[in-house]
Chains A and B, each alone.
Chain A
Amino acid sequence: MSSEQNISLQEQQFMHKIKAEEKIEPKDWMPEKYRKNLIRQISQHAHSEVIGMQPEGNFLTRAPSLRRKAILLSKIQDEAGHGLYLYSAAETLGITREEMIEALQSGQAKYASIFNYPALTWGDMGAIGWLVDGAAIVNQVSLQRTSYGPYSRGMIRICKEESFHQRQGYDIMLSLVNGTPAQKAMAQDSLNRFYWPALMMFGPHDSESAHSAKSMEWKIKRETNDDLRQKFIDQTASQIEFLGLEHPDKELKWNEERGHYDSGEIDWEEFHNVIAGNGHCNRQRLEHHIKAHEEGAWVREALAAYNAKKQANKAEAA
């Protein structure tokens, strides 16, 4: 960072607020890079909620009981709602939802790479709720204290619903492990496939993370990737044990001195490979989004035309 005397008075005031744990609000001055960084992070978060509807939507019509179907519907509905809050929060930074959707569809903006893994069995609905939403919550709880006001308030609201999502996922797993051997095997298979990708959701190691340092200084991020990942590893270990499932990490070991679990190394080659477009569903997820958007174009046009007609009629009558 440049020396104190070189930065503007505005930036000094901005940093003063950040240090004092005051929230930055939409009309406040902010450095352009802070704005851009937030738009990147919030829109990526919104896109993740929206793309995340697909793997679960893909199982809605096959849910094995009416009760589970109702719960899953309600969860997906929440996710669409979270997408909306987050798009609105990003819009306060001077970008439109249309621009964000365009950036998603062109591949310029990202969504959580976890959704590039396929949802193949009903057990995956359990693993996604428990592990994927669980990892998301660890991150989001921390983001409740993020420095940007609208994002922080959005996170507080979202966290309340996310904890219900995680519980419903864990509840699916509980039913499976208490069921038949085939159901228990289904649960183990889902855990095996989703455990490591869930750890990858926290992003690269701190030493490798492109956006971390500045985001921490600006308090957009409040805890590092590795610290958040450690929390998740710790909380998940006892949950796996309670389910009576085998832990996918054979090197996992309690470290008395650190007060944390030591764990095996993540396969970062797989992480980069999936991000680079080689996951099972990268193309499918984007094409699904683009197809729905394009098929809905005539509906949006009809809505605009109808509203314009009503406006014109009103003007004529006045």
Chain B
Amino acid sequence: MSDTIKDATLEYAIRLGDDANVLGHRISEWVSHGPFLEEDIAYANVALDYIGRARMFYGYASELANDGRTEDDFAYMRDDRQYRNLLLMEMPKEDFAYSQVRQLFIDIYYGLLLPELVKSKDDTLAAIAAKAIKETRYHLRRSRDWVLRLGDGTEESHRRTQRAVDSLWGYTHEMFEMDDTERLLVDSGIGVDITKLRDDWHRQVGSILTEATLNVPEDSWTVRGGRIGYHTENLGHLLTEMQFVHRSYPGCQW
């Protein structure tokens, strides 16, 4: 592996690790706050899948960096300007509709991305993707079912779900944008060309929203910046909580 490709792959592993870590953290905030016990179990389960993914991506990043940094150094010792997750992942949990709509957007996204990543020439990334595909299939079944029920449930649930769709829509565009790093990896057969996933994503999301009697928003606003560390104010608070114990006792084993 050339140094350029290696650096790009490291950056890619960190991006995917940050996505999983930040989203897993957000989902874990639901544990013991769900609308009923079965949902607490489901939330814990999905959070666990994402924390597991974060560990695999960071573990690979640590192998590629080969400078002594561990998975926990990536998670706990970087500030928000160094985090590379998509903005959608860091948005607060808000209400159940908001979290399920976010999850639907992400599940459909990974449902398209992972089968491509499985074909990566990078064996480690392909292996992580192969494991994650099975989890995402289950996640998508759940988020799809919930968006249908909430959209086509009561007046209140419809209103809350439409508001969630409208509030989150502007953060979905950056999911399909690539920079030079990712383009290099696409050319090398390692990364996924996410620009090609956009139409399928819109088709699938559109069809579920319509079935749920919800409107697909107009593309009138777009916020971007996660991949260059230009985040919303939410991430700083999330990291403050996540990193507090770890940073209060520097250099400890837990």
Contact = CB atoms under 8 A, between A and B. Distances in A.
Nearest to B95: A295
Contact of A62 (B21, B34, B156, B242): B242
A50 interface: yes
Interface string A284-303: 00001000110111111111
Interface residues of B, number: 49
Interface of B: 21, 25, 28-29, 31-41, 44-45, 47-48, 51-52, 54-55, 58, 71-72, 75-76, 95-96, 148-150, 152-154, 156-157, 160, 241-242, 244-246, 249, 251-254
Contact of B153 (A57, A122, A301): A301
B241 A83 contact: no
Interface residues of A, number: 48
Contacts of B37: 50, 80, 83-84, 87
B153 A292 contact: no
B153 A306 contact: yes
A277 to B, nearest CB: 21
A286 B152 CA distance: 32
Interface in A300-316: 300-303, 305-307, 309
Contacts of A63: 245
A123 to B, nearest CB: 10
Contacts of A282: none
Interface in A38-72: 50, 53-54, 57, 60-70
Q: Is the contact region of chain B dominated by helix, strand, or loop, or is it mixed?
A: helix
Given A66-B51, A76-B31, A122-B254, A306 B41 contact: no
A182 interface: yes
Q: Is the contact region of chain A dominated by helix, strand, or loop, or is it mixed?
A: helix
A250 to B, nearest CB: 29
7 contacts: A54-B32, A61-B28, A64-B249, A122-B254, A292-B33, A299-B157, A301-B154
Interface in A172-199: 172, 175, 178-180, 182-183
Nearest to B238: A61
Contacts of A180: 249, 251-252
B252 A183 contact: yes
Contact of A73 (B34, B51, B95, B253): B51
